[in-house]
A and B are shown apart, each in its own frame.
Chain A
Amino acid sequence: MKTPSSHVFILDPQRRAKLTKPAHLRHHWSVVFVIFCSVVATLSLVVLATLLYDIFAHGTGHIWRSSEGSLGQRFSAFFSRWSAFLSNPPSQSADNAGIFPSMLGTIWVCAVCGLAALPLGVATAIYLEEFKPKRKLLRHFHGFVQLNITNLAGVPSVVYGIIGMTVFVMMFQSPGDVQSPVLEFGINGIYDQYESEGLRMLRVPVESRDAEVTALQDGMTVYDAQGTPKELNLIAVGERVPDDRELRRRTLIAIPDGPPRSRYIDEAWYYVRIPFGRSVLAGGLTLMLVVLPIVIISSQEAVRAVPDSLREAALGMGCTRWQVVRKVSLPASIPGIMTGSILAMSRAIGEAAPILMIAGVVYIKSPPGNLMDSFTVMPLQIYNWASDSHREFHDLAASGIIVLLAILLVFNASAVIIRQKFQKNLG
């Protein structure tokens, strides 16, 4: 079926001229679109600037206003208040309140989250991209896993809080609890703790968590809060408390039922137990669940972007599949993986809902000392302040947001620098 070539309009000058789209109209649209983009970009920048201005005005303004005297004095007062804010625990009085425990809580939890989510997420992504199964049944399984991961990225984070509660905090109703764990590791010592007449802690070692109270004896060795051994000075009821300060600090009164005491567990920094309870580890792992889909999907994207020709080159040189991953795919996709991880970690730092479920509403005076410690995070602290009925605390919330933003900025900047380094190496 042959048709004369003039049937094709492009070869017929008249019809071609009639059908040609006017060029100026296309240019028109191009200009309109550029203007539209600029306006939208400006708008979002304005919104961001307003937000930042508001936060900084609130977060720094109250500190600046409360300082008095000459400019120099005001400056030094300003900085000392800021450093107090950074190093104090939260407090009833807005003037003394600080963000220290929750700041370290955030750092701990995010460290746990990052250390768990990155290897797991990247490994999953590599499995899904580089080790696609050939057999039909496994291929279906592969697709099923892929579908689920994509779906998980859209699940609200509270849901992960509930999962974290069951899996990490309670460990599926595992026997034992925080007071009497099934399994624990890293205990330096268990003590009964007394308050001496000199208002110091005195600790008497016992065998185990539920051992009998050690009978107090005059002259026995006890330990103070720093762990220095002391000789106990036991006096009878009604006997005169010694005047010497050093002696008074290691003096206990032997009342018949024993002086008031509590059991104190001296935990090492590597203390772990099962179940985890409402601990840093449980919080970090829960956050890991929240960010894992993001890490996996973005890492997959990065690994997929590595051209197949490079894989073929490596295979052709005699690489095993793992060597292809290790020497070609992974190095080439690290910048992309880093970008995804930055996004994921930024989300983890700001996440409040799942942490609220794990940590509960608690007053935390000191930063976590080990993975099993209770904790709180900055978003929760900020939320607490922002919902306080006193106005001064609202300003504290703004200050807290500034600290949060600063940490986020430092974190992202360092990640970007690392990524740049990698990209340079790869040329």
Chain B
Amino acid sequence: MSETSPPPAASPADSEVERPLRRLARMYAESRVALFGLALLLVIVLAALLAPWLAPQNPYDLMQLDMLDGRLPPGSASGDGRLTYLLGTDEQGRDMLSAILYGLRISVGVGVVATLMALAIGMALGLAAGYFGGRFDAVLMRIADIQLSFPSILVAMILLALFGQGIDKIVIALVAAQWAYYARTTRSAALVEGRKEYIEAARLLGLSTPRILFRHLLPNCLPPLIVVAALQVAAAIALEATLSFLGLGLPVTEPSLGLLIANGFQYLYSGRYWISVFPGVALLLLILAINLVADQLRDVLNPRLQSQ
């Protein structure tokens, strides 16, 4: 008898050679709430990216502002009648809708850039710590422990107090406050995956260490990282908003959502809610959308659910 197993090509299970990514997409789409979250997120991000084209006015261009239009309630027409302030104006006569769109742009940009940088740094350190272990691992994890035992807002505030304001400074502060989450997550994933036999097989096949780390180990550590990153983007955005609200974050010339909320805060009691509430709602929706997406990603990437 030939030992060749019969060519398995014809069985029905094979006809759908489903790529892992497509399978994930299908599983993601099983939840309506998650699809809604994803749609909302896409709308918000698109609006933020396209702010210069979507916004009725450029809120930073002082020439376009009219002090006489200050503090108009939502739906008012501008003094010169050329546009309607759908969400009202602030005390400088700035269109809130435009300010929010531009503010979103900054918030999302800062959040994403900070997350990507923190991810890259934390991932590289965590991967090395998990794979090589030893003293490097011990030292790195002690540092991460210490840092994680302080609230991230405190870490960021101290750094900003040292550096001063500026969009680059706040990105650095956010990265410093968050890299440890990624380092921890990557390390624990790398510890688990690194013990698996396919890594040993790669070593025996004489593959170089960077190749093993980045082509074999890293892709298999990604699922938990993606979830953490998704949640941390929301955290980064919220942190930036908080810092800006406290006046520690971005300068007034680059008003992010947090600063907008802070600016309008003083008018809340005088009934001019829109200056503060609308940026707040925008921030809330953004964070909600990210969390919905992150939750579903966590379920989809959960290996126990995945194997069925």
Question: A and B from one assembly?
Answer: no
Which B residues form the contact surface with A (CB < 8 A)? Answer: none
